[in-house]
Amino acid sequence: MNIDFGTTEKVIGIDLGTTNSLAAFLDLTGPKIIPGADGDKLVPSVVSISPSGEVVVGNAARELLITQPGRTVYSVKRLMGRGLDDIQEELKLFPFHLASGSESVLQLQIGDRTYTPPEISALILRQLKQNAEAYFGEPVSKAVITVPAYFNDAQRQATKDAGRIAGLEVLRLVNEPTAASLAYGLDKRENGTIAVYDLGGGTFDISILKLHDGIFEVLATNGDTHLGGDDIDNLLLRIALEDVQGEWGEDLAGDSEGVQRVRRAVIQAKERLSFVPFTDISLEYRGNKYQREIQRELFDKLIAPIVDRTLGPCRDCIKDAGVTPEQIDEVVMVGGSTRIPLVRTAVENLFRSKPHTELNPDEVVALGAAVQAAILSGDVADKLLLDVTPLSLGIETMGGVVSKLIHRNSTIPASATESFTTGVDGQRNVLIHVVQGERELVKDNRSLARFDLKDIDPMPAGLARIEVRFLIDANGILNVTARDLRTGKEHSIDVKPSYGLTDEQVEKMIQESFEKAEQDFQERQVREARVEADTILAAVEKARRHDAYFELSDDERSAMDRAINELLLVYHSEDHHLILNKNEQLNQVTMKLAENMMNTAVRGALKGTKI
């Protein structure tokens, strides 16, 4: 890989995930994750909005999921580009509610405001953008964002809308499996066939890629945008809620805070079972305690149907790629859910080879996105990625039948042209109905757009010649042009999916982000100062129970109490300088306590040791 870093503006790679999101960049030593202000590389894809309109993203928002569940949104990726009928099952488990009038564009009701899924995703992207700007010390306005390979046109368009609202120029949407192959350095092979199995929080993807002389070509892709680790969490959640109802005689299903506490307990148990043979699901809530031991053997039986659901798309993908499992040279595992031993075993058995699990599965996609960002910025000159369109695209013809112009797994950018005619004598207008899917009848596929080609020459049925051209750009976004070959009249549109945002909505959101930029920045500074205060106050409270605290003089303890009270008095102030000043004062007066605790710890460590 030839890397040439000049004075070009930095382009970051972003993995906008269901559970966590990350940003990364490429330097001379390779791709690296950009840490946030708290030092964490992962930014939980959680957004909380206070009654005053303050926006909190990431770890702090995840904590608020317990106490303010109705104001906190998670797993929004599962709602991107989807309609009301698509998300009925999710709504039963989400604590947030839809606003009225959400049939065409989903709108979440948070307090007295409504937010679309792209707006919520934009808040996550804006946080990643701010993290990158703080890390580099310069503005960042361009990004590559990854999407599941099986995302349809509506979901891809919604992701691009989110980037625009966040103030990012999205240079390209790249399929997550394609990015993962770069992160694993598989481009160093001369040739080979690679399978990328990606099981994340809300989506599952399988892709078969062929590497030939530095060019990655996606031979086939498959998956399920409604399958992931969230389904395992929800399965365990339902079981735990039934247990709790049996033991406590109380149904927590309608208690948002109770449900979120149970959810956290089952997620922690699920994560531990990837490394230990058994663990407990345990929680305390409102004076009641629930505890249940769960063995990995039972866990595997419970989740086996979910894991099996990933294997069907894998077999279909292998068949579509025209290869056998034995012809696949490398298997890469991506996504946090691939830590589960049963998942790894199932994949190894299907592909008959041990998969790559060396890299952190949460970071793989973002690292690959950074390499793709460098390719598009011109910093990497000798690599080329060819993605594919995940679903076929066509138009409705007579009888409600689909005529496919661009077939599934066609390499993008792609274009196709086909001629059609009229079905009625003297017809002046032709309705072009664009659909996406694999079924033969229009009613069984997703409707993307409708438009009229008007004022064509009236002719007997079957004599007019209408040319329809489909063009898919590098992001997988579709442009459709219809042209009357006799008169030259044409109509062209960028297909706006049924559940996307209008240009006016997107522009309004962008304008709002500009108008409120200063206010947002000030609120961010105050929030960060309060987070620092919370950390210090919690540490001091814990230290006051330590023996070292009682070694302080009365004056020293009094000074500490005064500093704590002064910090608490300004804690809710909107002046972040004032809060930071009191944070520093409390830090200063607790220096002696910290030294005493260190000395006590050292004495304890050396006790009984001969030097």
- Choosing from 10, 41, 77, 142, the catalytic residue is 77
Identify any residues that bridge with 64 across adjacent strands, giving them in sequence order. Answer: none
DSSP label at residue 546:
S
Residues whose CB is less than 8 angstroms from the CB of residue 605 and which lie 6 or more positions away in sequence, other chains included: none
DSSP label at residue 34:
P
Q: Are 436 and 152 in contact (CB under 8 A)?
A: yes
**Helix H or strand E segment including 430:** strand 430-436
Catalytic site includes residue 243: no
- Choosing from 153, 161, 176, 187, the catalytic residue is 176
Catalytic site includes residue 592: no
Catalytic site includes residue 404: no
**Vertex 226, ends 225 and 230: CA angle to 5°?**
120
- Choosing from 119, 187, 198, 523, the catalytic residue is 198
Q: Are 125 and 16 in contact (CB under 8 A)?
A: yes
**Helix H or strand E segment including 587:** helix 576-589
Q: Are 174 and 146 in contact (CB under 8 A)?
A: yes
DSSP label at residue 423:
S
Paired sense of beta strands 20-27 and 43-44, if any: antiparallel
Catalytic site includes residue 15: yes
DSSP label at residue 327:
G
Report the alpha-carbon distance of residue 129 to residue 600 in Å, rounded: 43
Torsion of CA 110, 111, 114, 119, to 10 degrees: -50
Closest residue by Cα to residue 500 from 509, 487, 490, 511: 509
Answer positive or negative: Cα dihedral of 150, 156, 159, 163.
positive
- Choosing from 10, 15, 379, 523, the catalytic residue is 15
Q: Are 117 and 158 in contact (CB under 8 A)?
A: yes
Instruction: Provide the 3-class DSSP secondary structure of residue 429.
Output: coil
- End-to-end Cα separation, the chain, in angstroms: 53
Residue for token pair 């890989």: 1
- Burial-class residue 527 by CB neighbours within 10 Å (0-12, 13-18, 19+): middle
Residues whose CB is less than 8 angstroms from the CB of residue 16 and which lie 6 or more positions away in sequence, other chains included: 45, 77, 121, 124, 125, 145, 146, 147, 159, 162
**Helix H or strand E segment including 432:** strand 430-436
Transcribe 62-118 into DSSP letters. Answer: HHHHHH-GGGEEE-GGGGTT--GGGGHHHHTT-SSEEPTT-SSS--EEETTEEE-HH
Alpha helix ranges (H) inside 167-217: 176-183
Identify any residues that bridge with 30 across adjacent strands, giving them in sequence order. Answer: 27
Report the alpha-carbon distance of residue 201 to residue 479 in Å, rounded: 31
Q: Are 227 and 306 in contact (CB under 8 A)?
A: yes
- Burial-class residue 426 by CB neighbours within 10 Å (0-12, 13-18, 19+): exposed
Closest residue by Cα to residue 520 from 239, 154, 166, 11: 166
**Helix H or strand E segment including 420:** strand 414-420
Active-site positions read: 15, 77, 176, 198
